[in-house]
Amino acid sequence: MERLIATCGLDCASCPAYQVTREGDSKALEALAMTWSEEYGATLTAEDCACMSCHSATGPWMSRCAECEIRACGIEKGLGTCAECTDYVCDKLAKFFDVVPDAKATLDGLRADV
């Protein structure tokens, strides 16, 4: 499987929202929105879940990704991922890693490759 690493270290290519958006499967996107709404106690629509990765210049971006301060920071600094940042690990990223430790492992691996 391809890897498409988001600014924060998540692998967009493994995300169901990215996969079904890329495939253009509107029914699967609606089903994903219903599933995630139930799992996360939120009200999500298919439009909220549509995403072509945080690296897409034109979107769509999943609602959370579109508002992500980590993504915005990376764009402002012209970085592909936070692994390239001289401020690695910043406070925003440290809080994110508390919730998603796999993202830290990914970014740490990218830093080791540099």
Q: What is the pTM of this model?
A: 0.84
The more confident residue out of 4 and 114 is 4
pLDDT category of residue 114 using cuts at 50, 70 and 90: low
Contact 73, 104 (CB under 8 A): no
* Spacing of C-alpha 28 from chain mean position: 19
* Spacing of C-alpha 92 from chain mean position: 14
pLDDT at position 113 over 90:
no
pLDDT of residue 57: 87
Residue 98, burial from CB neighbour count under 10 angstroms (0-12, 13-18, 19+)? exposed
Mean of pLDDT values over 15-32: 95
Mean of pLDDT values over 88-95: 94
pLDDT at position 16 over 70:
yes
pLDDT of residue 102: 93
pLDDT of residue 23: 95
Mean of pLDDT values over 16-22: 95
pLDDT of residue 1: 57
pLDDT at position 17 over 70:
yes
Contact 53, 12 (CB under 8 A): yes
